Structure 1
């Protein structure tokens, strides 16, 4: 099975930062995330996601009312890890698509082909007011736009052919401009001409993920390569809908990689392992573990849960490497512009 881990502040429990084992100052240095990602990598976990939102956390007593930017945090973790996949959450509703794809492509380059992104939207008036570019919109509208952002991102990643960089010092040519292409993309809310400012990512297309929290997100997940399903009574129906839909990403599986998201608490190791075994028997591709406390629960996941899963033959060896697409069983997409004239 594919195993993922969520990094969200000090953990999913809003009170995790108050634990005696946590230095609250580390929330704003990235050290908690670095430590969690390194422990996860050493244990053989396949990827980590970084939670984020445009809205500020609630300013209430005993809660952390700040957060680090997920993309920046992933970039902090990339140079100090070697094998684990990195998927920051990026809210595309108020963000320029051209800059989004360039940032994800950059993360793929600096991580050596281990990047992805969790596509998210915002319907809140708070986020709209903070950004100041547009009025809030419905979930249907924002997810429709998100699918356009995913589409144009893939086109922009293809706007550089794989051999566009030639580094010919004798002629002073670094790039073969005949291998850069316009995308000329238009949607109801934005247009992009291209090409990208970042060369094609090592994976061709970094992995696109969607966390299914609403019916609109489930529809958008048909375009994703990795789908995160919250553990709920609706999983069976959601799974059936995804298994029969296929996805739009050329070169990947005919159906998305589907992962169920499970909460983790240190005292429930046995129950967690049994639950993962049940999901494996049901044909789920993997699980996404959400530790209540990074400092308490990630060591338990690394030292107890992963070895037990490995002993049951449910996950692979800890030291396996390669690209994130490779770990997920996804092929490298063909460049749609290859062999064409600019």
Structure 2
């Protein structure tokens, strides 16, 4: 189910952030609501700067109690061990039966660095370079177990085919990893990588490594230009640009009743210090999504509700049915994994390909 801009089905995702909430229950309610609307995935933000539960742990708790919705936690790659990061994300893919993604982010504050015994934080460009290396080594570690590496033969006592286990021998600027992983290859092969390409220094990391790039801009023409730039840069890195999904990132305030977009919005979002904000009703939002998608601006939308419980309910029960009626969005999940939702192929292990190369 591959979506091309202006043609076919679009992709929809939503944030389920609940600041000040420390229980997984309310997050589960939002995830189930998003699943009822057949959204591709939900995201849960995390970081070192404020109180709150670990997003990976929350979504791992939610995973067994949902069945189709993709689950994408933010994972800070600064001050964390890449080996442990990949093992945790792989575990989320296993407990969700192939619905995991992750959203790499960096920690730029000196006070956060001091929490980990470091005097100063590195420059943002260096932090995002490191984040790219973490994504790279994570994929290598997931591939370090070929498909079929687990034998589980009780009669012979063999658990693993050692010929299908590989050292990654990765050397980065700030870390090295030998491998292999301690977790078998995830159900998706590689869980989905989601990167906010509008963050400074993250653009090239997204073009090189992301399966899904989020772009927060207020004009559809500018969004389309960024999308084409990301696809072009991905091709320069040797990637198939059709394997990159670019989603418009918008904050939404759908209010308490159906009404036209507020004066000044011009039918679209306005810039704010926290990113583009769209204020209107569910019908207005459906019109904006329809217009931007048909104009080829993006492959879909990642929406962050200002009032999570109210706005997500209005999105799922108001906007989504209109998009389905226009044959722009799915009415059911045709597959079971997040890669299938996004129309992305399951990659083969890079080490299996090398092992099969007679040269």
TM-score (norm 1): 0.88
Using the TM superposition, give the Cα deviation of residue 200 of structure 1 relative to its aligned residue in structure 2, in angstroms.
Answer: 0.4
Matching residue of 2:284: 271
Matching residue of 1:20: none
Matching residue of 1:23: none
The equivalent position to 1:306 in structure 2, one of 317, 320, 337, is 320
Unmatched 5+ stretches in structure 2: 1-9, 256-280
Aligned counterparts of 1:251 and 1:243: Cα–Cα separation in 2:
9
Distance 1:133 1:109, change over 3 A: farther
Using the TM superposition, give the Cα deviation of residue 207 of structure 1 relative to its aligned residue in structure 2, in angstroms.
Answer: 0.5
Using the TM superposition, give the Cα deviation of residue 247 of structure 1 relative to its aligned residue in structure 2, in angstroms.
Answer: 5.9
Aligned counterparts of 2:245 and 2:70: Cα–Cα separation in 1:
14
- Specify the SS of the correspondent of 1:166: strand
Using the TM superposition, give the Cα deviation of residue 235 of structure 1 relative to its aligned residue in structure 2, in angstroms.
Answer: 2.6
Is structure 2 residue 228 aligned with structure 1 residue 240?
A: yes
Matching residue of 1:61: none
Aligned counterparts of 1:198 and 1:251: Cα–Cα separation in 2:
27
CA contact (8 A) 2:283 2:322 kept: no
Is structure 2 residue 39 aligned with structure 1 residue 45?
A: yes
Matching residue of 2:22: 28
Distance 1:205 1:319, change over 3 A: closer
Using the TM superposition, give the Cα deviation of residue 236 of structure 1 relative to its aligned residue in structure 2, in angstroms.
Answer: 3.8
CA contact (8 A) 2:144 2:168 kept: yes
TM-score (norm 2): 0.84
| Corresponding pairs, count | 317
CA contact (8 A) 1:164 1:176 kept: yes
Give RMSD over aligned pairs: 1.9
Is structure 2 residue 321 aligned with structure 1 residue 321?
A: no
Is structure 2 residue 143 aligned with structure 1 residue 158?
A: yes
Aligned counterparts of 1:53 and 1:247: Cα–Cα separation in 2:
31
Distance 1:248 1:94, change over 3 A: farther
Unmatched 5+ stretches in structure 1: 11-16, 18-26, 57-65
Distance 1:248 1:129, change over 3 A: farther
Using the TM superposition, give the Cα deviation of residue 131 of structure 1 relative to its aligned residue in structure 2, in angstroms.
Answer: 2.2
Distance 1:39 1:249, change over 3 A: farther
- Specify the SS of the correspondent of 2:328: coil
